[in-house]
Structure 1
Amino acid sequence: MKLNKQVNVWWSSEQEARSQQWFFEDLSNRYCLEQQEASEVGLPAVAKSNETTIAIFPEITYQQILGIGTSMEESTVYNLAKMSPEKRLEVLKLLVDQQDGAGFNLIRITIGTSDFTAQTFYSYNDLPEGETDFKLEHFSIQRDIDLGIIDTVQELLKLNPELKIFGSCWSPPAWMKTTGSMNRGSLKEGIQYVEAYAKYLCKAASAYESLGIPLYSMTMQNEPLLEIDYPSCYMSPEQQAELVVILRQELDAQGLDVKLWIFDHNFSDAWGYTTPILNNKAANEATAGIALHDYEGEPAIMTELKAAYPDKSIYLTERSLWGVYGADRILQFFRNWASSYNAWVTMLDSTIGTHQWVGTPDPTLLVQDASNTDHYWATPEFYLTAQFSRFIGAGAYRIESTLGSAESVTNVAFVNPDGSLVVVIVNQTELEQAYRLVAGGWQYGSSLPAKSAATLVIADRG
C-alpha cells in the first residue's frame, strides 16, 4: 500500500532564554528554523516503548485561525528609520515573507502612542490645557505620517497584500480624561465623552483607510484595568459596553467594516470584565471578539469564555515569550481557542531603547546594533514564533490531537486551506524525545532535540 504523503520538518531551539545578553550580542543558537530531510509516512505499527504517541483527528475541527504576527509600535518604527532603505526593506521582508521570513500575517498598531515609543506622548486630538473639541475639528494623524508609521505599514502591505492590521488605543486624548493627561485617569463620565471618544476612534480608522491601510479590527482600550505613568486609561466594563455600541454605530455610518474586540487585558480579569458587556444585548451584538493578554492567569479561561459565548472569537493580542516554554505557551493559546497570537515589541536596540515603559524589557524578536544601525540580529524567539507563523495559514482550522505532556513533548495541530496538516511539537526537556504521529491509516515517527520545537507539514505528494 502506497500512502503518498510527504513530511517536511523544520527545527528551532532556545539558547539563553530571556537573557539580557541577547541585547548586547548575537549569541550562537543551534537551530534557527532549519529544514530537515523530507521523509514519508508509513503504515501504523506498534509504538516503541520510548515514544510519545500523538493521535491526530483531522475530521474534528475547532476555531479558524485569523493570523499570527507581531506589533509595529513606534519604538520599532523609530529604529527601522535609522536603517538604510535596503536594510529596512530586508527587515520588513524578514517579518512578513512566507518563504524566507517569519510569514507574519497579522500586525498590531497603536492608535496614538503607547509606552513603547521614542516620542513625547501624543494623541490625534491634543489641545491646550482647559480646551475641549467635541466636534474633533483638530483631529489629525499627521504625527503618524511624520514619524514614518504610515509608510512602514504601507510597505508591509505591499510586501504581503494579505496582511491584516488591527489597532489598539492606549489612551483617549487628555482633554477627555479625569487626569487631563494621557497618563493614568479614566474617560470622563457622561455620554458626551463616550460619544466623542467613539468619534475619535472612528476617525482614526477612517484616516488609516484613506491612506490604504484598512483596519481589520480594533480594541477600544489597551489594558482597561491599568492606570500607570504612561498612556493608560481605566475604563469600567459598563462604560466599555456603552462605547462599543456607539462606536459600532459610528463605524457603520461611515461604511467602515472594522470589527470590535472588547477587553484587551489579562486572563485573570476576563470573566469579571467581559460578562457585563456580553450580557448586555446591544453591546453583545456590537462585539465581534474578545481580546486577551497573558500576563496574569491561565489560558484555560479562553475555553471557558468560548463555551459561554460560542459566537465570539478569541484573540491573544499581546504577549512576549521566550524559549521553548514560550513556544509551549503559544500552543496552549491555540489549544484554548485563540484565533490569533501577536507578540509585543518587534525591535529594540542594543541600548534596550528607545521606549518609555516603566521597567526593563526582555529581549525582543529582533535587536538592532545601536553602534551600527544597519546591523541587527534575530533572537531565538523570532524563530520559535516563526515555527507557527510561517506554516499555519490564515483560514486554517485547529484540529484535534492528543496533547502529550511537558515531560516529553506537547503539540498543537491544524489543517490549512490547501489541505496540508501542520503539527507544531515542543520539547521542553533536557533530553532528546522520540515521538510518533498517528492519523487515519498512517503514522510518522521521529525525535526532537532537547529544548527545541519542530513544525511538521504533511501533504500529499504532487
Structure 2
Amino acid sequence: MVPLHYLLLALASPRAVLSASSIEVDTSSLLQQIHGFGFSQAFGRASEFKAADDDLQQQALDLLFNTEVGAGFSIIRNNIPSTSGSTIEPNSPGSPSATPNYTWTGDDAGQVWFTKQAVSYGVSTVYANAWSAPGFMKTSGDEATPGYLCGTNGHDCTSGDWRRAYANYLVQYVKFYKSEGLDITHLGFLNEPDWETGYSQMQISPNATEAISFIPILYDAVQNTSLDLNITCCDAVGWSDQETYTTALIAAGMDKYLNVITSHMYTSDATSALNTSLPTWITESGVETSDAPFTTTWYDSGSPNEGMVWANKLATGFIDAGLSAYLFWEGFEINETQSASHLVDLGSDGEAEGSAILYAFSMWSRFIRPGARRVSTIGSLENVATAAFINSDDSVVVVLTNSGDVAQTARIGFPAELDAADAWVTDNKHQVAVTNVTASGANAEVVVPAQGVVTIKVN
C-alpha cells in the first residue's frame, strides 16, 4: 500500500509519484565483498576526542559506531606518525643496518584510546597508514618535505638503502599496538604520493617504481612475524592517479604481495572499476572547499557538503567502481579545523551533532555489515541507483538512491517469500527514519522520495 501522504501528493501533481517499477534481486549472482565503512581521527583529533567530557564522548561514539542509533562504522584509519616529536623512532640510528631505538608511550596521539573505543563497539578492521617515512630515511632528509624513500629505484642516498629499515619500522608500529591488545589488520606505507603538501609526505613516480621496489621487502618483513596483516597501496589523492599506479603494480606482479588497492577521491572520484581483481577501497574522502562548512542540510543547491551529494557518491562508488570499503576523512571534531570534512560536530546546545553526510553514510553502513556481498539486480527506476547486498546472516539489504525531483514507487522482488521487511528513509525531513514498506509474498514495495534514499532490509 502506498502511504497516504504520497497519494495526496500525487493528486496535487500527477507526476509527483511515478507508478511502481519492478527490480529483481538475484542473490545467486555474487559481486564484490564488502569490508565496511569508516573514518579517521588522525593528526590529534583522537586526543581531542579523548579529552572531551564523558557525556559528549559517549554521544559522539554512539553516532559513529552504534548500529541502532548511529552509523555503525566498522573501519578506522590511524596515522603512523613520522614527525620526530611523535614517531616511534625519533632519531636516526646512524645507518640502515644499525639497531633502531624504538620508543612507545602507549598513547599514539590518542589513537590507542580511540582504537579501544572502536573495538568495544565491535570494530575489527583497523587500517594503519603512514603518511611518510621518518625524514632521515628520505632523499629530502625531512618528513614534511617532498622526497622519496632512500634505496628505492633511482633514489640513492649517501646514508644508504633504508627500505628494509622502513619495513621494520612499520611492522614495529603494529607490534606496539599488539602489546596494547589491539590488532591492526591493514597496513599502508604511502599517503597521497602524487601530491606535494606542507606536512608529512612521501612521493612515488607515476609508474610506481618506488612502490614496486619496496612492496616485496615489506611483504617479507610481515611474513617474518606472526602478524596477520593485509598490505595496501597507494592512497593516491585521486582515483585516476590510483588507476595509473594500479596498472603499473599489476604489470609488475605486485598483486601477489598486496591485499587491497587504496585511493582517495579529491582530484577524481571513483566512478569506474580499476583493472584489478584485488578489493578496492576509498580510504579518505571529504569536502575540500572552505566555503562549504559542516551542515545538517540534506539537499538544497547541490553544495559539496550536502548529504544527498554523498548519497550519490556512495552509490556510484559501490555500483560503478565496485568498491569494497568507503572511508571519510575525520569522524568527530570540536574545534572544526576541517570545515565539513568531519562527520560529528559540537552543536550549539553542547551536544554531539551528526552532519548530513553522516546520515548519507548511515543508510549504507548501519545495514550493510562487514562480510556482506553485493549481488546483482535486474530492472531499473528512472534516476534511482539501486544496490543490493546479502549479509553473512542471510539478511538482504537494498539501497535505493533517488537523484531525481520526482518520488518513485519501487517494487522489489526477492528470490523467496519474505519473513519480514523493514525500511528507512533519509531526505530533507527524515534522518534514517522508519518508513512504510509493504511486503507480500516475495515482493516489497516502498516509495523513494525525490532527492532521498530508502534502505530496505528483509529476512
TM-score (norm 1): 0.77
Residue number in structure 1 paired with 2:447:
447
Structure 1 residues 332 and 136: alpha-carbon distance in aligned structure 2, compared to 1, 3 A threshold: farther
Write the distance in 2 (CA, Å) between the matches of 1:378 and 1:326. Answer: 14
Residue number in structure 2 paired with 1:330:
314
Write the distance in 1 (CA, Å) between the matches of 2:87 and 2:21. Answer: 53
Residue number in structure 1 paired with 2:281:
315
Residue number in structure 2 paired with 1:210:
179
Structure 1 residues 136 and 51: alpha-carbon distance in aligned structure 2, compared to 1, 3 A threshold: farther
C-alpha deviation, 1:49, in angstroms: 5.8
What does the per-residue CA deviation read over 1:104-130, in whole Å, with 9 as the maximum and x for residues that have no partner? 11111111169xxxxx974322238x9
Aligned residues: CA RMSD: 2.7
What does the per-residue CA deviation read over 1:279-299, in whole Å, with 9 as the maximum and x for residues that have no partner? 223x33211121122223343
Is 2:30 the partner of 1:61? yes
For 2:369, the aligned partner's letter is G
- 5+ long unaligned stretches in structure 2: 2-16, 153-160, 288-305, 417-441
Residue number in structure 2 paired with 1:267:
239
Q: Is the 2:40–2:330 contact (alpha carbons within 8 Å) kept by the matching residues of 1? A: yes
What does the per-residue CA deviation read over 1:185-206, in whole Å, with 9 as the maximum and x for residues that have no partner? 2234326211121111111111
For 2:333, the aligned partner's letter is L
Q: Is the 1:183–1:227 contact (alpha carbons within 8 Å) kept by the matching residues of 2? A: no
Write the distance in 2 (CA, Å) between the matches of 1:164 and 1:297. Answer: 26
C-alpha deviation, 1:341, in angstroms: 1.1
Q: Give runs of aligned pairs for residues 220-231 of structure 1, distance below 5 A.
A: 220-231=189-200
Residue number in structure 1 paired with 2:353:
377
Of 345, 358, 362, 2:340 maps to: 362
3-state SS in 2 of match to 1:337:
coil
3-state SS in 1 of match to 2:383:
coil
Q: Is the 2:40–2:329 contact (alpha carbons within 8 Å) kept by the matching residues of 1? A: yes
Is 2:327 the partner of 1:342? yes
Write the distance in 2 (CA, Å) between the matches of 1:403 and 1:379. Answer: 33
Structure 1 residues 327 and 75: alpha-carbon distance in aligned structure 2, compared to 1, 3 A threshold: farther
Provide runs of 4+ in structure 1 moved above 6 Å: none
Write the distance in 1 (CA, Å) between the matches of 2:167 and 2:360. Answer: 38
For 1:331, the aligned partner's letter is A
Residue number in structure 2 paired with 1:251:
222
For 1:270, the aligned partner's letter is Q
Q: Is the 1:132–1:175 contact (alpha carbons within 8 Å) kept by the matching residues of 2? A: no
Write the distance in 2 (CA, Å) between the matches of 1:333 and 1:408. Answer: 16
Q: Is the 1:79–1:368 contact (alpha carbons within 8 Å) kept by the matching residues of 2? A: no
3-state SS in 2 of match to 1:320:
coil
Is 2:100 the partner of 1:137? yes
Q: Give runs of aligned pairs for residues 6-405 of structure 1, distance below 5 A.
A: 50-112=19-81, 122-127=86-91, 134-135=97-98, 137-142=100-105, 145=107, 147-160=109-122, 162-190=123-151, 192-236=161-205, 237-265=208-236, 266-281=238-253, 283-302=254-273, 304-305=274-275, 309-310=276-277, 312-320=278-286, 322-335=306-319, 336-349=321-334, 351-353=335-337, 361-368=339-346, 375-402=351-378, 404=380
Write the distance in 2 (CA, Å) between the matches of 1:53 and 1:292. Answer: 35
What does the per-residue CA deviation read over 1:160-181, in whole Å, with 9 as the maximum and x for residues that have no partner? 2x52101111111111122222
3-state SS in 2 of match to 1:222:
coil
Q: Is the 2:266–2:285 contact (alpha carbons within 8 Å) kept by the matching residues of 1? A: yes
Q: Is the 1:52–1:409 contact (alpha carbons within 8 Å) kept by the matching residues of 2? A: no
Write the distance in 2 (CA, Å) between the matches of 1:89 and 1:132. Answer: 46
